[in-house]
Amino acid sequence: MPDLKLALARLPRNLKSNRYWEIAGGRVYLKVSQRRALLLLPRLGLEGDSSAGIELYLVWHRFLLGKKKKKLSVALLIRELGMFGNMTRRLAKSMSFSLSKDLDGVLVPGRAIFSRQWFEEGTSSISARSTLWLGSDLDFRRARVDALAVSDFFYGSGDDRLFQPRTSSITWSHLASLLKIRKPEAGLGKDVLTLHVRGGDVFGTRQPAHYGQPPLAFYLFVLGLKKWKKVVLVYQDSSNPVVEGIIEYCVSRKVSLDKQSSTDTEDVALLLSATNLAGARGTFIPAITGLSEHLRNVYYFEDKFSVIPRKEGVTIHRVIDVDGTYRREVLSGNWKNSTFQRELMMNYPISCLAVSTGN
């Protein structure tokens, strides 16, 4: 019975979007076979590496009648966005891809938007050629786009080599302009270090295995890189034990410390003012890096840091575990929030860390 209830709950969504068709802007698009797609993709400017992982859907009358047209209009379709970090990554990659390939734009149907507190919905021009339809299904219908190229722009559709440098500033500037939250007019300054600590689900019952967090030593390592005038600590909640460790360190050394643990939007607003930022593992800090107008240096621990397209003007520093024990015990898809792992987070030696020169 639970399975039947779940299937019925998902039925309206599955009728609009599945492996055989997409209903977007009130128009029906039918999935093209792989063989036919290989013939059509080059006409859309999508071939070679840039077509990897892309599924192609044609509006029904072009699919059934096969009516030829010198150039088909094509938009990228994003089926889901996720929360702030994942949402920003998918939007940035798809927008940059659209600009690089000179496509008509990016469609995010209203049903794909899980969190509505971050970006203004509506139709906006990314460039003279490319449009972002963010939850504006009616405007997309009026555009009469012939084809939809579907891909998951979280993992799929290429790496940084497929995103041209010229798209970077356009993409990030446009996304930043759509932010709903208050954007800081000035940065915190070159002598201020901002630290971000993740708590939440990582230390709750969910315990995502691949999202073990940096040790206290990582934050203390960055704190020791120079004499900071002030430290700003932004933390999700107090469930991560390194929060208390950072506070104790700053108090014992009389380092000026500001703390904030507020709403998601207030925390993001403060992080966007950071000039120097050391952050948690995940997609959250890469999103801040791309959207910020003030960030100049960002420090991350080991991995799970990817900003695509690249953000100009930001120097990215990777701090690594040269000993390898922490990587093996906490960051190898084995996070359980165990007593041993929490103790390792608090007691791992700073001497085991170094800045990698091969970012």
Q: What is the pLDDT of residues 161-177, one digit of tens each?
A: 556 677 888 999 999 99
247-282: burial string, b at 16+ Cβ within 10 Å, e else:
bebbeeeebebeeeeeeeeebbbbbbbbbbbbbbbb
161-176: burial string, b at 16+ Cβ within 10 Å, e else:
ebbeeebbebbbebbe
User: In terms of domains, do 158 and 238 share one?
Assistant: no
User: In terms of domains, do 201 and 114 share one?
Assistant: no
What rounded mean pLDDT belongs to the chain?
A: 87
Strands 192-197 and 105-108: unpaired
Please say which residue of 144, 177, 210 terminates a domain: 177
Residue 183 inside a domain? The answer is no
Residue 184 inside a domain? The answer is no
* pLDDT confidence of residue 148: 93
Planar angle of CA 289, 304, 91, nearest 5 degrees = 50
Number of domains in the chain: 2
User: In terms of domains, do 158 and 210 share one?
Assistant: no
CATH of the domain at 339: 3.40.50
User: In terms of domains, do 14 and 151 share one?
Assistant: yes
What is the percentage of the chain residues whose pLDDT exceeds 70? 86
User: In terms of domains, do 172 and 230 share one?
Assistant: no
User: pLDDT tens digit string along 274-331?
Assistant: 999 999 999 999 999 999 999 999 999 999 898 988 898 999 999 999 999 999 999 9
* pLDDT confidence of residue 249: 96
Query: Range of 29's domain?
Result: 2-177
User: In terms of domains, do 200 and 169 share one?
Assistant: no
User: In terms of domains, do 201 and 339 share one?
Assistant: yes
Strands 27-31 and 55-59: antiparallel
User: In terms of domains, do 196 and 107 share one?
Assistant: no
User: In terms of domains, do 165 and 211 share one?
Assistant: no
Examine the pLDDT at 137 and tell me if it is beyond 80. Answer: yes
Please say which residue of 110, 142, 177 terminates a domain: 177
Of the listed ranges 32-36, 97-101, 298-302, 318-322, the one predicted with least confidence = 32-36
Examine the pLDDT at 48 and tell me if it is beyond 60. Answer: no
Please say which residue of 151, 177, 203 terminates a domain: 177
Residue 221 inside a domain? The answer is yes
Residue 186 inside a domain? The answer is no
User: pLDDT tens digit string along 221-273?
Assistant: 999 999 999 999 999 999 999 999 999 999 999 999 999 999 999 999 999 99
